Amino acid sequence: MAGLNESARFNLEKASVLLLESPSHALDITAQILGALGVRKPHRCKTPDSAMKFAQTLPLDLIVCDAGLPFGGAYDFVANLRRSNMEPNRYCPVVLVAGHTPMAMIGQARDCGANFVIAKPISPRVLLERIMWMGQESRPFVELDSYVGPDRRFRKADKAVEKAGRRRDDQESPDPAAADDAPEPPPSHEISLKKAQP
Amino acid sequence: MSAMIVRRPVNRLAKLMRAPGGPTVQQALAEADARLKATAQAGHTELQRLLSSIQTLGQALGPSPTEGQIDAVYGLSDEVLSIAAVAGSPDFGPAALSLCELLDGLKARKVWNASAVQVHLDGLQLLADPSVAHSPEQTQAVVDGLRRVVQRTLR
């Protein structure tokens, strides 16, 4: 596990962060953690509709979204955002936070176009790790009929299995330096199934 | 086979995070811990409310509950899972997770097992009872028992 460099500085003061979560104590906890990480004032939305309207009003740098919204609203919101013409917000990093995470939910989260899933209770360290990772990653954004969002495969993970890729760009390295400098993915790098411990 | 479009958008978050200023990781995490500790009392009150609601709604489930009733108890249990540790009562997290898994599994299989649910309600009530002293081993035994119930029920 690469972990965090405790003395590293990061600046989220000017980050425009959207927090989409049902009103609850858990929402307050998430907002408190974001505040501690330097986010001045996360924009809180209670419903996917209001979040989508808000996303039309200003560029966003990070979206934190509760996977437990009623009727699968979180997944639809992310999928609709990814397929929208809202630039640059359709490319915005999205973290889904979830309490109980059955396997079906993990698949849904991956396929809607979210960058990561974090299991509740949210640990400040885990959230910061994921934010740092998203601030460094160079995953391409792919658009297919069946999926729009960050490439669900990780370059380092692909290297590890040492198999020839199926896509043309698997054979190319448009920015070899970037590939070499790419940070190691977080431990459970694509989707976290483990419960984060505060 | 559909064509794939690959884009490499500017990572706006990366640019922002590299701007001068901002806390160190250590400072930010210390601030987060302090803020979470400050919410602990409110979290404890909310946890008690949630546990009470689980008992009320859980006892009303009966032999053939509606999907809405099951979802309501699942939602409350999911909230307990989300806040228990921050509220200073981490013991409730694994028990709530077990109830979530049970309800989710029963719903997926379109079956109902009132006894298995009742065991979970009793387990949560036992953990919440201030008159009963719980050693870590006893708490773990309760959680292990609940997990076994889920495994047997959803086998």
**Could you tell me if A49 lies within 8 Å of chain B, comparing CB atoms?**
no
**b/e code A135-166 from CB counts within 10 Å (16+ = b):** bbbebbbbbeeebbbbbebbbeeeeeeeeeee
pLDDT per residue over B35-56, tens digit each?
Answer: 999 999 999 999 999 999 999 9
State yes or no: cis peptide before A59, omega within 30 of 0. Answer: no
| Residue A126 pLDDT greater than 60, yes or no | yes
The confidence score (pLDDT) of residue A176 equals 34
Cβ-based contacts of A168 with chain B (< 8 Å): none
Residue in B1, B4, B120 to test binding to A, most A beta-carbons within 10 Å: B4
Q: Which residues of A touch B34 (CB under 8 A)?
A: 36
Query: Which band of pLDDT confidence, cut at 50, 70 and 90, is reported for residue A114?
Result: very high
State the number of CA atoms in the 13 A half-sphere of B16 facing the CB. 21
Residue of A12, A25, A103 for testing the chain B interface, max B β-carbons within 10 Å: A25
Distance from the Cα of B64 to chain A's closest Cα (Å) equals 22
pLDDT-derived band at A138 (thresholds 50, 70, 90) equals confident
H/E stretch holding A18 reads strand A17-20
- Classified as helix, coil or strand, A192 is coil
Instruction: Kindly tell me if the per-residue pLDDT of A115 is higher than 80.
Output: yes
**Residue in the structure block whose two tokens are 């609203």:** A73
Task: Indicate the Cα dihedral angle A94, A96, A97, A99, nearest 10°.
Answer: 180
Pick the closest to residue B76 from B64, B60, B41, A46 (CA basis). B60
ipTM: 0.87
- pLDDT score for A163: 43
Return mean pLDDT, chain B. 93
Segment B68-76 mean pLDDT:
94
Residue A198 above 70 pLDDT?
A: no
Lowest mean pLDDT among A67-76, B17-26, B92-101: A67-76
What is the nearest CA distance from A105 to chain B, expressed in angstroms? 11
Mutation target among B86, B97, B98, B102 for the A interface, most CBs of A within 10 A: B86
pLDDT score, position A189: 33
Place of tokens 């104590």: A25
Q: Are B53 and B72 in contact (CB under 8 A)?
A: no
Q: Cα–Cα distance between A137 and A155 in angstroms, integer?
A: 10
Q: How far is CA B66 from CA A113, B102, B112, in A?
A: 32, 16, 10
Which residues on adjacent β-strands are paired with residue A65?
A: A20, A96
- Give residue A2's pLDDT: 59
Whether pTM exceeds 0.80: yes
Find residues 93-112 of chain B whose CB sits inside 8 Å of chain A. 93, 97, 100-101, 104, 108
